[in-house]
Structure 1
Amino acid sequence: MPAPGPTLSKAAPPRRSVPPPAAPAAPGAAFARNLRHNLTAHGFLIGAVVCFALFSWYPMVREVFLAFQKTESGQTDWVGLDNFATVLNDPAFWQAWRNTLLFTVLALVLGFAVPFAAAIVINEFRHGQGYLRLLVYLPVMLPPVASVLLFKYLYDPGYGLLNELFGVLHLPEQQWLQDPDLSMLSVVVASTWMNMGGATLIYLAALQGIPGELYEAAELDGAGLLRKIWHVTIPQTRLILSLMLLMQVIATMQVFVEPFLLTGGAGPEGSTTTVVYLIYQYAFNFNDYGAAAALGLLLLVLLSGFSAVYVRLSRAQDE
């Protein structure tokens, strides 16, 4: 027999080569890579920042400088607090603030309560809520000029629909926009109709988030509609109501479009002159941009306080 040959050992698996350690990334390489991956998003973000910088931040900064400057014959000089003294010594300044506060109070009575009541009514319907939401939001989609022209027709003392209705009811006709005692109320009614749609939808969303068990428990306790609203609806929507109240105060303090288009701005005996309209007069009627900027800065400081409260409440809601 032939001698047995040498036995072959089991072949060992090939060794895998270990790659050398990667060289450290150059400074800024990670940033450049992320920038390339998010180039589209950064492009949209940069566009928004540029728009805000040009049309929001720059005008505010420029207003601060203008409030302490005066330009005459093409020459600009620093005048300190002279523009503020000019504004404060103007009799129209205090009248404008009184009118603005009156508009704010009336707008809170109507523009704050009416959308909330409308949301409660819509929430009670089990069918057709979509059509009702569309109906209540339609005035917001109309151009402000079209809405104002509609109300000018309604308020017309000769052939206006309101006076026609008063005649049918044997009531005395009214000079809605010509009477100093009625002009501001007429402006508030028009403004409420034009802007209540958004607030109504926000209130409706808040109402639909209230658990139905709370209303069932209130009904078992014998609570009627008003008691359910007072003890269930309002406490459950208290934070939303507070936020909307502050937002409405901030918005109504800047009212301009409605009185400007309905009564020409000043109104009979200055009854609808608001702070923003007075700023418009200083800038474009009197060519006193320094006084306009000073008054705008005063309004900005006041509204910044309300905005700070709004931000604080918003954070509380998020928490």
Structure 2
Amino acid sequence: METLTIEPKRPAKPRRRPPTKRNRAIRHNLTAYGFLCAALFCFAMFAWWPIIRQVILSFQENNLVDEPKWVGLDNFQAVVEDPAFGQAWRNTITFTLLALLCGYVIPFAVAIVLNELRHARGYLRFVVYLPVMLPPIVSVLLFRWFYDPGPGLFNQVLDSVGLPTLSWLDSTDTALISLVIVSTWMNLGSGVLIYLAALQNIPGELYEAAELDGAGIFKRIWNVTIPQTRLILLLMLMLQLVATMQVFIEPYMLTGGGPENATVTVAFLMYQYAFVYGGNYGAGSALGLMLMIVLLAVAAVQLRLTRDEKR
């Protein structure tokens, strides 16, 4: 006789509570939070901490070997009393003004020309942007050969047209201008592309209306192009000021600060304090802090102007 076995009933699985709206948002954005934390960590380690470290070093006598000693404002006093201090600031300001005259106006003019072209536009954009793709050291070494007083390209061109040759990097009259030419050529492409992007967002109806009113090309640029791109122009002005006032590679590789300190800039003098003058990191940091304060003031003025333009 068969016996019936009754299997015990399995307990019903408890139903999972649906995740709350907050939990769903956290799970959905977990990957984004991970990338954000990684970016913040890298930014803190390689941007914020060096700034904090520089501020601390500027008030210390520190060669990164012996025990640091707090000296208050002595580093700032020593830097200001250095005869090269005033020369470095004059050279930096002169370089900045010349670089703005060339590196701010020329890319805008080139962008306007490229924007008006109908043929070979992509090829010409590539040619203009090519110097940006080269490492800065390669561009500087290339111009070192251009400036060579013997077989250099520039002097050969001058000699071929019957003009006297120049001592580009060895004369106090032309050394700083030579550095401006290198800097303008190296950074031309990035400025042109940014201006091109701004120009292509200008409605074509504005130019058509200006042409119907009889406006020539210069009036169209003054009354349409510049007003429509004023925010980009202000932004590029700030970026140019910040970049040119920190110029270092050009004087370091081409002139070494010479001749007769004609190309010593603030950033180059910082390098000399830290790595040439017996490891005086405190003085170098003090000079760097002064430069940072000046750049912060420039950025604050630019932000104020931009905010006024947006109203």
When normalised by structure 1's length, the TM-score is 0.86
Query: Which residue in the other structure is 1:307 paired with?
Result: 299
**Which of 97, 100, 104 does residue 89 from structure 2 map onto?**
97
Aligned to 2:262: 271
Contact persistence 1:247–1:310 (CA under 8 A)? no
1:26-37 equivalent positions in 2, closer than 5 A: 30=22, 34-37=25-28
Alignment of 1:209-228 (within 5 A): 209-228=201-220
Matched, 1:85 2:88: no
1:51 has 2:56 as partner: no
* Alignment deviations for residues 251-287 of structure 1 (CA, whole Å, 9 cap, x no partner): 11111111211112x1201111100011111111111
Give aligned-pair identity as a percent: 58
The 1:317/1:206 distance shift into structure 2, 3 A limit, reads farther
Q: Which amino acid letter does the alignment assign opposite residue 34 of structure 2?
A: G
Contact 2:248 2:268 in 1 (8 A): yes
Q: Which runs of 5+ in 1 are unaligned?
A: 1-19
- Structure 1 Cα separation of the partners of residues 26 and 107 of structure 2: 46
> What CA distance in whole angstroms lies between the structure 1 residues aligned with 2:156 and 2:18?
87
Q: Report the alpha carbon displacement of residue 127 of structure 1 after superposing the two structures with TM.
A: 2.6
2:170 paired with 1:175? no
SS at match of 1:75: coil
The answer to whether structure 1 residue 130 and structure 2 residue 122 are counterparts is yes
Give the conservation status (yes or no) of the 8 Å contact 1:108–1:248. yes
Q: Where do residues 1-319 of structure 1 align in structure 2 (5 Å cutoff)?
A: 30=22, 34-71=25-62, 74-264=66-256, 266-286=257-277, 287-313=279-305
Q: Which deviates more, 242-251 or 225-234?
A: 225-234
Counterpart CA distance in 2 for 1:272 and 1:303 is 20
Corresponding letter in the other structure for 2:130? L
What is the identity, as a one-letter code, of the residue corresponding to 2:77? Answer: A
After superposition, the Cα gap between the structure-2 partners of 1:24 and 1:144, relative to the gap in structure 1 and judged at 3 Å, is closer
Q: How far off is 1:42 after superposition?
A: 2.4
Aligned-partner residue type, residue 162 of structure 1: F
Aligned residues between the structures: 295
TM-score normalised to structure 2 length: 0.88
SS at structure 2 position matched to 1:126: coil
Query: Cα–Cα, structure 1 residues 127 and 24, in superposed 2: closer, same or farther, change >3 Å?
Result: closer
Which amino acid is the alignment partner of residue 57 of structure 1? Answer: W
> Using the alignment, how far apart are the partners of 2:194 and 2:66 within structure 1?
50
Q: CA deviation at 1:30?
A: 4.9
Task: Provide Cα deviations, 1:184-206, integer angstroms capped at 9, x if missing partner.
Answer: 10110011000011111111111
Q: How far did residue 317 of structure 1 move? A: 6.8
Separation (CA, whole Å) in 2 of partners of 1:69 and 1:145 = 33
SS at match of 2:260: helix
The answer (yes or no) to whether the contact 2:234–2:306 under 8 Å persists in 1 is no
Q: After alignment, is 208-217 or 90-99 more displaced?
A: 208-217
| 8 Å contact from structure 1 (residues 119, 203) kept in 2 | yes
Confirm or deny: 8 A CA contact 2:198 2:232 kept in the other structure: yes
How far apart in 1 are the matches of 2:18 and 2:249? 64
Structure 1 distance, partners of 2:147, 2:18, is: 79
The residue aligned with 2:12 is none
> In 1, Cα distance between the equivalents of 2:195 and 2:19?
56
Unaligned runs of 5+ in 2: 1-14
